[in-house]
Structure 1
């Protein structure tokens, strides 16, 4: 089974423009992330896919592998699908470009899903972890997921799901971490299928997979992601480096 990592890297960012090119201990954030992905030793290859010539040149200058997007894309899945269309690969892992402190263990757990899936019932795998703080649960910035007994995703939402009409019944609230592992065909199918109403309403690309009947296996982890979304996050990251 051939497994690669693809790091989608947009230059523009609503909350923190050009964050991937910010200096982090003598190297840019995107180079740190690329090198961290390679250092996991989990992948047969690692690529950065970007719409920015600045990011493309940055990766190439550090002897990395980069792919320029040909089209404009609304989602990370679209950008990755275009990039891997002509690459011989079985499983593609989406690594976030703004997470230079990659935790190897949850990525291993995602890959293990496909190694055990001999019947090929899983189209995608992704991560979730339990949240208990009411403010976190209610925040539309935290995407929640509910799953069936086999941990296949039933629905993702920015709203509180399930709604706590009856409390003290053992409901756990699970936050979705947007790191995915895909079968190549699931990505290509996504790329060719139009957006439907649920995805358009919630602005969550993973709903397109569910709306078209793809199966998303969720892996529970205790490891929250450490991303750089704001200048304050960057300052914390610099202290960590």
Structure 2
């Protein structure tokens, strides 16, 4: 029997057709299924709550529906994935029964169930507004790359940080580990509702990192440390890697 948290949790997967490096990305074939369907399958395997895909394109809607998943059409002019999942949340749960919203990006077809579970663990502390993931950087070159976002946080448990900042710079300075942020989020419903009412913040716009909006507004983000970074599919080469990883999985 599932615990009561299952009924209070909604997994939302935002999908946008617009992609400059990989046009039509949500419908890219991965071993016989569109990528967005593969992501939904991984979310279902995690078995933490109801799974729904939030789309802005009729072809993607039809593909998800045909695969047997819940799907909702959202506006095409959303500025962020957070806005899109909030619209989907309101549509999926108008009565407000959902307490936790897990946001899995639609380009993570190899995401492991353990990563989804890890993103929910910080929610056991009622003081946490948002939870996310990170992995220690072991490649020296990655420490200086601006597209690899670093978490600056204070350790509060063996595998958990309280986020103080997110940056594209190499930080913090000095001896010690650096951490690569993984963009999978779990929101308390009230936190997501508050977040989407906030305008873009100064540091968010400077670093081009949406999560800084929450920190600047005084919201608490805890970060679970995991073992590996899931493959994000942004290029044709990434797509081939995803196909190789999922080869042999049952459809």
Q: Is the 8 A contact 1:36 1:102 kept in 2?
A: yes
- Give the whole-Å Cα distance in 1 for the aligned partners of 2:16 and 2:76: 13
Q: Is the 8 A contact 2:118 2:133 kept in 1?
A: no
TM-score (normalizing by structure 1)? 0.92
Which residue does the alignment assign to 1:104?
A: 113
Q: Is the 8 A contact 2:46 2:114 kept in 1?
A: no
Which residue does the alignment assign to 2:231?
A: 226
- Give the whole-Å Cα distance in 2 for the aligned partners of 1:7 and 1:146: 26
Cα shift readout 1:52-73 (whole Å, capped 9, x = no counterpart): 1221111112221111113611
Q: Structure 1 unaligned segments of length 5 or more: list them.
A: none
Matched, 1:95 2:109: no
Which residue does the alignment assign to 1:155?
A: 165
Structure 1 residue 107: Cα displacement: 1.4
Q: Is the 8 A contact 1:85 1:188 kept in 2?
A: no
Q: Is the 8 A contact 2:42 2:113 kept in 1?
A: no
Q: 2:143 aligned to 125, 137, 157, which one?
A: 137
- Give the whole-Å Cα distance in 2 for the aligned partners of 1:4 and 1:211: 26
Aligned positions, number: 232
Which residue does the alignment assign to 1:81?
A: 86
- Give the whole-Å Cα distance in 1 for the aligned partners of 2:122 and 2:85: 20
TM-score (normalizing by structure 2)? 0.88
Which residue does the alignment assign to 1:15?
A: 21
- Give the whole-Å Cα distance in 2 for the aligned partners of 1:190 and 1:71: 20
- Give the whole-Å Cα distance in 2 for the aligned partners of 1:224 and 1:58: 27
Cα shift readout 1:89-129 (whole Å, capped 9, x = no counterpart): 10011112111112111211222222x22xx1000000011
Which residue does the alignment assign to 1:181?
A: 186
Matched, 1:126 2:132: yes
- Which SS does the other structure have where 1:20 is aligned? helix
Q: Is the 8 A contact 1:124 1:186 kept in 2?
A: yes
Which residue does the alignment assign to 2:152?
A: 146
Q: Is the 8 A contact 1:48 1:67 kept in 2?
A: yes
RMSD: 1.4
Structure 1 residue 231: Cα displacement: 0.3
- Which SS does the other structure have where 2:48 is aligned? coil
Structure 1 residue 239: Cα displacement: 2.4
Structure 1 residue 15: Cα displacement: 2.0
Matched, 1:67 2:72: yes
- Give the whole-Å Cα distance in 1 for the aligned partners of 2:51 and 2:149: 27
- Which SS does the other structure have where 2:181 is aligned? strand
- Which SS does the other structure have where 2:155 is aligned? coil
Matched, 1:194 2:199: yes
Cα shift readout 1:113-167 (whole Å, capped 9, x = no counterpart): 22x22xx100000001111322201101100011113211000001111134xxx
